[in-house]
Amino acid sequence: MSSEAQAVTIVMVEDDEGHARLIEKNIRRAGVNNVIIPFTDGTSALEYMLGGDGSGEASARRHLLVLLDLNLPDMTGVDILAKVKASRQTRRSPVVILTTTDDQREIQRCYDLGANVYITKPVNYESFANAIRQLGLFFSVMQIPETD
Partner 1 sequence: MPISTATFIRSTLTLLGAGLLILIVVAGSSVWLAERTRENAADVQEAQSIRSRTSRLLTLLLDAETGQCGFLLTQDPRYLEPYEAARRQIRPDMERLKQLHQSDPDEGRALDEVSRAVLTKLGELDQTIALAQVGNLAAALDLAKTDRSRETMEAARKTLLDLLARTDVRLRGDIEDMTSGARYLSFATIAGGLLVFLVGAGSFLIVGRYTRDLVGARAEVQTLNETLEERVQERTTDLARANDEIQRFAYIVSHDLRAPLVNIMGFTSELETGVGTVSRFFDELQVDETSTSAWEAKVAVKDDMPEAIGFIRASSTRMDSLINAILRLSREGRRTLKPERVDFGELLDLLAANIQHQVSEAGGEIALMRPLPTLISDRLALEQIFGNLFDNAVKYRDRNRPLRIMIRAIESGRIVHFEIIDNGRGIAKEDHERIFELFRRSGVQDRPGEGIGLAHVRALARRLGGDIKVESELGVGTTFRVSLPRVLRQQTSEKAMEGVNS
Which residues are near partner 1 by CB under 8 A? Answer: 16, 18-19, 22, 25, 71, 100-101, 103, 121-126, 128-129
Q: At closest approach, how far in Å is the CB of 22 from partner 1?
A: 4
Query: Which CB atom, from 49 or from 97, has the smaller least distance to partner 1?
Result: 97
Q: At closest approach, how far in Å is the CB of 15 from partner 1?
A: 9
Q: Hey, how many other C-beta atoms are within 10 angstroms of the C-beta on 118?
A: 19
Angle between helices 17-29 and 125-141 (to 10 degrees): 60
Q: What's the gap between Cα 148 and its chain centre?
A: 19
Query: Which CB atom, from 15 or from 79, has the smaller least distance to partner 1?
Result: 15
Q: At closest approach, how far in Å is the CB of 74 from partner 1?
A: 16
Compute the distance between CA of residue 20 and CA of residue 85 in angstroms, rounded to an integer: 23
Residue 148: burial class (beta carbons within 10 Å; 0-12, 13-18, 19+): exposed
Query: Which CB atom, from 9 or from 100, has the smaller least distance to partner 1?
Result: 100
